[in-house]
A and B are shown apart, each in its own frame.
Chain A
């Protein structure tokens, strides 16, 4: 069990643009931190630098009280779960679990005890003498988890461990990983590109984009107060509506129409962020309401997503399923639910 501290961490691959730059992050003991971002944003690179599988170009990684920059992966006291599980195909499940302990010259009795304990926790005891290829995807996933927990390491590192599973199993395993981590209290860093997975697992989210940190915060905080346009568009499903707007006379103006949203002081264009679920049907002609030209409707059962255009810009609204729909839909908005960003810097204004 340990804290992990990243200080101004950067990585540039030979002959490439920086894959990660200027990442600083303090992870508390026992905390579950999720690194989330689109493909290629440098999540894996960051995780692998913590693991010691990738050299560090600039900055410092600290695990507990030690700076680990120059330590081998084995000396960092971490365990990692890989996307493809990386189970040793020629060893039985038992041998897979024991391998790391044997390498560390642990006594046989202690190895047996730990393997049995991990097998009981993960319910893989019946498969201990099988080879990985004789297991289902979900079972392999558990064995990979088991290999991490028998080591009782200072930290768990996960690189998209669920992305090879089908949707249903992914939800189940997600829950199990969360429970297991709570129960063991081991500091964890988890990489995913799936924002739902990120929201449900994390104590704290780190949203990455192009190798830089966009925002760090608790899931709900990030959801409610996205710090940048990028985060606003990335976190939440359906994605937040982002509309280019202007500010005139202290109000936000969209397509020549002043909205009931106060503009923060300053000049220049803004981006107005509205979540689909924060829009509600209004009677036509309500001042400040948005006039949506409907193009199509997505039925989700309990609610429906109405797609269309406002002032020539795409917009999605979530409405109840019993609403009668016409070609046009007037949408009222709650001024407090509006997010405003500077259009040039992408930073949050209020």
Chain B
């Protein structure tokens, strides 16, 4: 890391102040509040607040709905990351073969990232809407009866597609950059060394993309854990029968709809801990793996 030298000791702090203020007001302060709230319990009318220690946390462990949400979140996050990354990798590989004409395609492929998650959710909600949507009609022709408001598996498929769709653009850009940083001569050398296209991908391209893939895996998982709230909210609202009720959505439902602030706060602290852990793992690993 490059170390800039400031003569004035105050100047760096002044320059950092706006960013620090934003971080404090919108992140640290609410996080601290959530932390504090997770140790409290309010009565139903919000009149009395009592300190209950770790009771909100221990209750979570016995809460069937919460444990269900943990499972749903695991399935959801892994599916979003795997789907978003594999589709992006396929597109990037296709574009990498024709770099000269790739600009137009790349622009098109990047557009979804500019679409707000809620809009993306709505878009997919329309496409898969059992009465007015296109996909249920097409699937119906193929003999598949689509109704994600009744079928939990179908609801999961819908939210995974809607959440992964947007992420494909982001992953795609990183994969394209990763692919282009692999010198063409490596693949040429491998071709001369008798490796066919598939073997070349498996033994040369993919291992050299590993740092990129690992970085994206963490970013996508964090995205699926945290940023997919609007997608769920616009499509399934956690239903049917909790089938798509992921942790971040449950935080909202329990806190704002159920008004169980203590439990909601405890849940968000748990989520926060998971993300912090993931980030730490990422930095540790990336530092070690980035140079092969």
> Which residue numbers of A lie inside 8 Å of B, CB to CB?
51-53, 72-74, 78-80, 82-84, 86, 88-90, 99-100, 103-104, 131, 133, 147, 151
Check A84 against B194 for contact (C-beta < 8 Å): no
- Distance, CA A52 to CA B194, complexed state (A): 12
Check A103 against B185 for contact (C-beta < 8 Å): no
Chain B residues 227-266 with CB under 8 Å of chain A are none
Q: Do A103 and B199 contact each other (CB < 8 Å), given the known contacts A74-B194, A86-B183, A133-B292?
A: yes
Chain A residues lying within 8 Å of B291, measured Cβ to Cβ, are: 133
Check B208 against A86 for contact (C-beta < 8 Å): no
- Distance, CA A90 to CA B188, complexed state (A): 16
A102 to B: closest C-beta gap in Å: 9
Check B189 against A82 for contact (C-beta < 8 Å): yes
| Other A-B pairs beyond A74-B194, A89-B208, A90-B207, 17, CB < 8 Å | A74-B191, A74-B192, A74-B196, A79-B192, A80-B188, A82-B189, A84-B183, A86-B183, A86-B188, A88-B204, A89-B292, A99-B195, A100-B192, A100-B193, A100-B194, A103-B194, A133-B291
Chain B residues lying within 8 Å of A99, measured Cβ to Cβ, are: 190, 193, 195, 203
Interface residues of A: mostly helix, strand, loop or mixed?
loop
A173 to B: closest C-beta gap in Å: 19
Query: A72 — nearest CB in chain B belongs to which residue?
Result: B191
Chain B residues lying within 8 Å of A86, measured Cβ to Cβ, are: 183, 185-186, 188-189
In the complex, how many residues of chain B place their beta carbon closer than 8 angstroms to a beta carbon of chain A?
A: 20
- Distance, CA A79 to CA B194, complexed state (A): 10
- Distance, CA A86 to CA B188, complexed state (A): 9
- Distance, CA A337 to CA B167, complexed state (A): 73
- Distance, CA A100 to CA B190, complexed state (A): 8
Q: Do A74 and B189 contact each other (CB < 8 Å), given the known contacts A90-B207, A90-B292?
A: no
Query: A132 — nearest CB in chain B belongs to which residue?
Result: B292
- Distance, CA A88 to CA B182, complexed state (A): 10
A sample of 10 cross-chain residue pairs with beta-carbon separation below 8 angstroms, ordered by A number, consists of: A74-B193, A74-B194, A84-B183, A84-B185, A86-B186, A86-B188, A89-B186, A100-B193, A100-B194, A103-B194
- Distance, CA A52 to CA B189, complexed state (A): 11
Report B64-105 CB contacts with A as 1/0, cut-off 8 Å.
Answer: 000000000000000000000000000000000000000000
Contact of A73 among B188, B203, B292 (CB under 8 A): B188
- Distance, CA A72 to CA B194, complexed state (A): 9
Chain B residues lying within 8 Å of A103, measured Cβ to Cβ, are: 193-195, 199
Chain A residues lying within 8 Å of B192, measured Cβ to Cβ, are: 51-53, 73-74, 78-80, 100
Q: Which 9 A-B pairs have the closest CB atoms?
A: A100-B193, A103-B194, A86-B185, A90-B292, A86-B189, A74-B194, A73-B192, A82-B185, A90-B207
- Distance, CA A104 to CA B292, complexed state (A): 25
Check A73 against B183 for contact (C-beta < 8 Å): no
Chain A residues lying within 8 Å of B193, measured Cβ to Cβ, are: 74, 99-100, 103, 147, 151
Check A53 against B194 for contact (C-beta < 8 Å): no
- Distance, CA A59 to CA B185, complexed state (A): 25
- Distance, CA A80 to CA B192, complexed state (A): 8
Query: A82 — nearest CB in chain B belongs to which residue?
Result: B185
Query: B193 — nearest CB in chain A belongs to which residue?
Result: A100
- Distance, CA A53 to CA B193, complexed state (A): 12
- Distance, CA A86 to CA B195, complexed state (A): 15
Chain B residues lying within 8 Å of A80, measured Cβ to Cβ, are: 188-189, 192
Check A53 against B191 for contact (C-beta < 8 Å): yes
Query: A148 — nearest CB in chain B belongs to which residue?
Result: B192
A10 to B: closest C-beta gap in Å: 21
Query: B203 — nearest CB in chain A belongs to which residue?
Result: A99
Check A90 against B194 for contact (C-beta < 8 Å): no
Query: A78 — nearest CB in chain B belongs to which residue?
Result: B192
A126 to B: closest C-beta gap in Å: 21
A156 to B: closest C-beta gap in Å: 11
Chain B residues lying within 8 Å of A151, measured Cβ to Cβ, are: 193
Chain A residues lying within 8 Å of B185, measured Cβ to Cβ, are: 82-84, 86
- Distance, CA A151 to CA B292, complexed state (A): 25
Chain B residues lying within 8 Å of A104, measured Cβ to Cβ, are: 194
- Distance, CA A267 to CA B196, complexed state (A): 61
Chain B residues lying within 8 Å of A147, measured Cβ to Cβ, are: 189, 193
Chain B residues lying within 8 Å of A74, measured Cβ to Cβ, are: 191-196
A191 to B: closest C-beta gap in Å: 14
A270 to B: closest C-beta gap in Å: 45
Chain A residues lying within 8 Å of B208, measured Cβ to Cβ, are: 89-90
- Distance, CA A48 to CA B103, complexed state (A): 27
Query: B100 — nearest CB in chain A belongs to which residue?
Result: A14
- Distance, CA A90 to CA B291, complexed state (A): 9
Query: B208 — nearest CB in chain A belongs to which residue?
Result: A90
Chain B residues lying within 8 Å of A51, measured Cβ to Cβ, are: 188, 192
